[in-house]
Amino acid sequence: MKMVLLFISILSIAFGLPASAARHDEYPVASPPFSEGIFPCSNCHAGLELNTKKRELKDEHASIKLHHAEQERWCLDCHNGPNRDKLKLADGETIDFTESYRLCGQCHGNIYRDWKAGIHGKRVGYFEKGKRTYFLCVNCHNPHDPKFKPLKPEPPPIRPELQYGK
């Protein structure tokens, strides 16, 4: 009987919180890198009828090319339709853009885990007992096209003995 209770306790702890749940004050983040003049989104979207149809974007968003699971994704999978100043998690919870790491973490769980531990991404400040700031995924990755472009490698360094002689 004790083993059954222990097993149930472990299961309830393991499955009690969604994988994306985090204490928001635990990860103080830098401001999202919004393009000039686009936020708050409600400045333009207020009063517009919500169009949920997947389509080619025009006008203000014509420069956005979705290269992020584009066959399965659409803008409103991540952006909240009724309140464009928020993002939307898979369970329907709305979050601020400063919590976008939770949105990214829903699909990129291993990277989210590494980001929280300080292995992936950038954070500044102290690792323990001091103020620190985490950089959001979008501080390094374009959320609509997150893959880094190929870089041309630099030539190898010249060994001193080849440059100056022995």
Structural tokens at position 20 = 């994306």
Summarised one tens digit per residue, pLDDT across range 9-42 is 343 334 333 434 445 567 888 889 888 878 888 8
Residue with the larger pLDDT of the pair 60 and 6:
60
Q: Which pLDDT value is given to residue 128?
A: 77
pLDDT of residue 56 exceeding 90, the answer is no
How far is C-alpha 144 from the chain's CA centre? 11
Exposed, middle or buried by CB within 10 Å (0-12, 13-18, 19+), for 84?
A: buried
User: What does the alpha-carbon distance between residue 106 and residue 76 come to, in Å, rounded to a whole number?
Assistant: 15
Q: Which pLDDT value is given to residue 18?
A: 42
Average pLDDT value for the chain: 81
CA-angle at 19, arms to 33 and 1, nearest 5°: 165
pTM of the full structure: 0.71
Summarised one tens digit per residue, pLDDT across range 107-166 is 999 999 999 988 898 888 887 778 888 999 999 998 999 888 888 888 888 888 877 776
CA distances from 144 to 66, 95, 115, 135 (A): 5, 18, 19, 17
Q: Which pLDDT value is given to residue 21?
A: 43
